[in-house]
Structure 1
Amino acid sequence: MPRTRKPVVPGWFDQDAADFRLLGTRCRACGSVFFPREDSFCRNPGCAGDELDEVPLSRRGTVWSYTDGRYRPPAPYVSDPDAPWQPYTLVAVELAAERMVVLGQAAPGVTVDGLTVGAEVELVPGVLHEDAEHIWTTWYWQPVAAAAPEAS
């Protein structure tokens, strides 16, 4: 039986889009952009707007901060409690156009030794977990130098 691909958090990205991006929302009244998305009201305390449009966020940004995770994180992260724990790298990425910082895991194989504050990173699709019925999809941040070359 084929497994179903499912985003680990529905609505935060389009796993099937050719131009993979995180999805945020923009307030029509003040222009503020939000991620995670907000669909009910503007989170800007100075705005009473309640009309928000979905917007794809920038695919590239710069490393604002990073750290390694040496503990089992809480849900929605899934891990086998009987398997040895493997550390992972968290990256906070500044998206200049949106004027925000987005947190995510670094791509597999990227460690804190391969990151520096201010380095350019790119959003890439990934798999967080697989089970008998599903492939749980997510996003990762990958250093641009390690990314595959873009088509001309």
Structure 2
Amino acid sequence: MPAVAGWFTGEEDGFRLLGTRCQACASVFFPREDDHCRNPHCAGGVLEEVPLSRYGRVWSYTDSRYRPPSPYVSNPDLPWVPYTLIAVELEAERIVVLGQAAPGVTTADLAVGMEVEVIPGVLQKDPEAALTTLTTWNWRPRR
């Protein structure tokens, strides 16, 4: 089950993030925008769903080694697993998209400007109930 409905589509080879483009000014948004153009210089226009580029370049990255403090919600009953965050520049869309690195990818594996690709990922998995597995996207170095 997608962690957020309508933000991505497809399987491994056809996996794509979904954004929206304003027909008036051509601005692209992710997360998607369904109500109005977020460009402050645009009077607004019809927004259309667009698949975003599968490949981009690392704009920045960091790791998260510690459980977030209050007021952020994290389940204290689950073990904390460090993860790597990557900000990826999609050149064609002229936007930066944030996401977790694929499992096993650490900050030591990354460099600013490196090409990466978006792939399906798992945000949360309940080992006892496959229906509650929440899917999302990850970034990994391009092969």
Among 49, 52, 57, the residue aligned to 2:52: 57
After superposition, residues 1-152 of structure 1 pair within 5 angstroms as: 6-16=1-11, 19-72=14-67, 74=72, 80-131=75-126, 132=129, 133-145=131-143
Q: Which amino acid counterpart does residue 140 of structure 2 have in structure 1?
A: Q
Q: Partners in 2 of 1:9 and 1:135 — Cα distance?
A: 12
Which ranges of 4 or more aligned residues in structure 1 deviate by more than 4 Å? 15-18
Q: Partners in 1 of 2:13 and 2:133 — Cα distance?
A: 18
Q: SS of 1:109's equivalent? A: coil
Deviations 1:91-114 (A, max 9, x none): 000000000100000000000000
With normalisation by structure 2, the TM-score equals 0.88
Counting matched residue pairs gives 137
Question: Quick check: 2:11–2:120 contact (8 Å CA) kept in 1?
Answer: no
Per the TM alignment, residue 61 of structure 1 is displaced from its structure 2 partner at its CA by 0.3
Deviations 1:102-141 (A, max 9, x none): 0000000000000000000000001111222421100000
Q: Partners in 1 of 2:122 and 2:93 — Cα distance?
A: 26
Q: Which amino acid counterpart does residue 90 of structure 2 have in structure 1?
A: L
Q: Partners in 2 of 1:83 and 1:17 — Cα distance?
A: 28
Question: What is the aligned-residue RMSD (CA, Å)?
Answer: 1.7
Deviations 1:58-97 (A, max 9, x none): 000000000001233546xxx6523432210000000000
With normalisation by structure 1, the TM-score equals 0.83
Identical counterparts, % of pairs = 67
Question: Quick check: 1:41–1:48 contact (8 Å CA) kept in 2?
Answer: no
